[in-house]
Amino acid sequence: MTAVTRQLSIPELDACVHCGLCLNHCPTYRVTSLEPESPRGRIHLVQAASQGRIEPNERFGEHIYLCLMCRACETACPAGVQYGRIAEAAREVLGPPGSPFARAVQMFAFRRLLPSLRRLRWVAVGLRLYQRSGLAVLVRPLLPRRLREMEAMLPQVPDRFFSPEAEVLPAIGPRRARVGVLSGCVMSVLFADVNEATVRVLRRNGCEVVIPNAQGCCGALNVHNGETVAAKAMARRNIDIFLGSGVDAVIVNAAGCGATMKEYGHLLHDDPAYKEKAEQFGRLTKDAAEFLAELGVVPPQGRVDLTVTYQDPCHLAHGQRVRTQPRILLASIPGLRLVEMDGSDRCCGSAGIYNITHPEMSQTVLSEKMRMVDHTGAQAVVAPNPGCMLQLRFGGKKFGPNVPVYHLMDLLDKAYGNAGTGERGNAETI
């Protein structure tokens, strides 16, 4: 047994009996009809590589990385195969995808940028300058096609980053819980408004909110792209900080982060000093919607007159099995009408950095999603995850319907704000 075959011989492989019930739930299989681009096919590939029957070479890597990691196959699987862990093990052996240059860029991002929110913000400031100074307009036509596509995917960097006024903010009304909030890397840079809304909503629901300054990125992008060294360090830091802050729950408003944090126990399973703490941290981690629905959401008094459709983020529906809670919260908003969309739990093609690494497949998946959005006739889409929000906004511009995309916390915050009590809601944006 070589080091590689040993690394790939994980017990999760044993549970797959090849029934094929995952096939049609897989976005890449639906597009290609190719078995190597299906969950069953990829599991078979990893199994064959773990037996030394094939090499984990470039072709193997292409199949493993064409996967969006949406984990819809896990929901479909009758045997409970943990596909995500199998794919992550393969990606750990392979390292990040793409050309040597692309891999170097990713490694730099995963090991140097994401672990440091300060550096990440400097990059964002640079990007903002590029977008606002007119440089973008000059440079864009000069880029090669592939880079131009990637450039088009870059989100607009807003004016301000998330910087709460204090590390601890009191509950509004009687205190029901003390919760930590993950600021997040992308969330704090690109979605300061959503983070602020989340904090306000939590406080209105009787939560004392703790936002530790020293926290960092959760490491989800690293884990999904075969980088675990920095990811483990990032996990340990968050575990120490949040467990040390005496909170009843750690609240996340990004589905991808929540799924990864709930699985810190697996990430650190071979670290005796952290294994147990990681599992405890995983149990404390809650998606904002999951937590509020379980706590019993304070019914908003203000109205939001809007017909929306809901996109289940993959890492919420499949990764965390959170499906009903966001719908309960939506139903609590007076005036809001939910029209369900066909395949609402099917991936939108964002998938972390997938839309940049695999623009063609990402947009094929996205165009189908936008067709489903269009069928609902909804005035807006609700998608409580930053990746989905950026992707669906891009999809609205490229394929239509060009409707606004909101985070669930945006709408709740707006509903509370519209009651005309307490702090302001972000009414002007809706």
Partner 1 sequence: MGITVSLHSELREALGEKYVLVEPEDVIVYERDGSIIQVMPEVVALPADTAQVAAVVRAAKRANVPIVPRGSGTGLAGGAVPAEGGVVVSLARMNRILEVDPRNRTALLEAGVINLDVTKAAASHGLFYAPDPSSQAACSIGGNVANNSGGPHTLAYGVTTNHVLGVEVVLDDGQVVWLGGAVPDTPGYDLCGVFVGSEGTVGIVTKALVRLMRTREAVQTLLAVFDRMDAATQSVVEITGRGIIPAALEMMDKVTIEAVEMGSSLGYPKGAEAVLLVEVEGVREHCDRAVALVREICEQTGARQVKVAQDAAERQRLWKGRKEAFGSMGRLAPHYYVQDGVVPRSRLPEIMREVAAISTRFGLRIANVFHAGDGNLHPNILFDMRTPGELDRVIEASDAILRACVAAGGSITGEHGVGLEKRNSITLLFSQQDLDAMAKVRKAFDPDGRFNPAKVFPTPITCAEMRLVPAKIPAGLWI
Kindly tell me which residue out of 48, 241, 339, 372 binds partner 1, with binding defined by CB under 8 A: 48
Q: 23 or 154, CB closer to partner 1?
A: 23
Considering the complex, state which of residue 11 and residue 246 has its C-beta at the smaller distance from partner 1: 11
CA 356 to chain centre: 15
Residue 80 within binding range of partner 1, rule CB under 8 A: yes
Q: Are 411 and 381 in contact (CB under 8 A)?
A: no
Shortest Cβ distance from residue 19 to partner 1 (Å)?
4
Which one of residues 1, 24, 166, 324 is an interface residue with partner 1 (CB under 8 A)?
Answer: 24
Q: Are 175 and 208 in contact (CB under 8 A)?
A: yes
Residues 94-123 that bind partner 1 (CB under 8 A): none
* 304: nearest Cα among 173, 162, 410: 410
Number of H helices and number of E strands within the chain? 24, 9
Stretch of 37-45, 87-95, 118-126, 400-408 lying at the interface with partner 1 (CB under 8 A):
37-45
> x/- site string to partner 1, residues 53 to 72, per CB under 8 A?
xxx-x-xx--x---------
Interaction of residue 36 with partner 1, rule CB under 8 A: yes
- When asked if residue 402 is in the footprint of partner 1 (CB under 8 A), the reply is no
358 near partner 1 (CB under 8 A): no
Q: Can residue 340 be called a binding residue for partner 1 (CB under 8 A)?
A: no
Q: Which of 5, 9, 10, 44 binds partner 1 (CB under 8 A)?
A: 44
Annotate 339-401 with three-state secondary structure: CCCCCCCCCCCCCCCHHHHCHHHHHHHHHHHHHHHHHHCCCEEECCCHHHHHHHHHHHHHHCC
Q: How distant is the alpha carbon of residue 237 from its chain centre?
A: 20
Residue 421 makes contact with partner 1 by CB under 8 A:
no
Q: Which of 8, 27, 28, 41 binds partner 1 (CB under 8 A)?
A: 41
213 forms part of the interface with partner 1 (CB under 8 A): no
Locus of tokens 């904090």:
199
Cis check: omega of the bond before 401, within 30 degrees of 0: yes
Q: What are phi and psi of 302, to 5 degrees?
A: -80, 160
Contact stretch for partner 1 (CB under 8 A) within 16-24, 239-247, 251-259, 348-356: 16-24
As measured in angstroms, the least distance from the Cβ of 282 to partner 1 is: 20
- CB-nearer residue toward partner 1: 81 or 207: 81
Selected from 8, 27, 28, 45, the binder of partner 1 by CB under 8 A is 45
Among residues 6 and 140, whose Cβ is nearest to partner 1? 6
Spatial distance between the Cα atoms of 70 and 219, rounded to a whole number of angstroms:
17
Provide the sign of the torsion angle of the four alpha carbons 146, 150, 153, 157, taken in this order: negative
Looking at the Cβ atoms of 76 and 306, the one nearer to partner 1 is 76
Q: Which residue of 8, 27, 40, 110 would you call a contact of partner 1, by CB under 8 A?
A: 40
1 in contact with partner 1 (CB under 8 A):
no
34 binds partner 1 (CB under 8 A): yes
Whether 245 and 212 have beta carbons less than 8 Å apart is answered as yes
**b or e along 291-320 (b: 16 or more beta carbons within 10 Å of the residue's beta carbon)?**
bbbebebbebebebebebbbbbbbbbbbbb
Check binding of 4 to partner 1 (CB under 8 A): no
Angle at which helices 408-418 and 192-204 cross, to 10°: 60
Residue 98 Rama label (left phi>0; alpha psi -120 to 50; beta): left
33 is an interface residue for partner 1 by CB under 8 A: yes
Amino acid at the residue 294: E
93 binds partner 1 (CB under 8 A): no
Q: Using the rule CB under 8 A, is 31 a contact of partner 1?
A: no
Distance CA 307, CA 131 (A): 33
State which of positions 275-334 bind partner 1 (CB under 8 A): none
Question: Does 243 sit near partner 1 (CB under 8 A)?
Answer: no
For position 77 contacting partner 1 by CB under 8 A, the verdict is yes
Question: Which stretches of the chain bind partner 1, using CB under 8 A?
Answer: 14-24, 33-36, 38, 40-41, 44-45, 48, 53-55, 57, 59-60, 63, 76-81
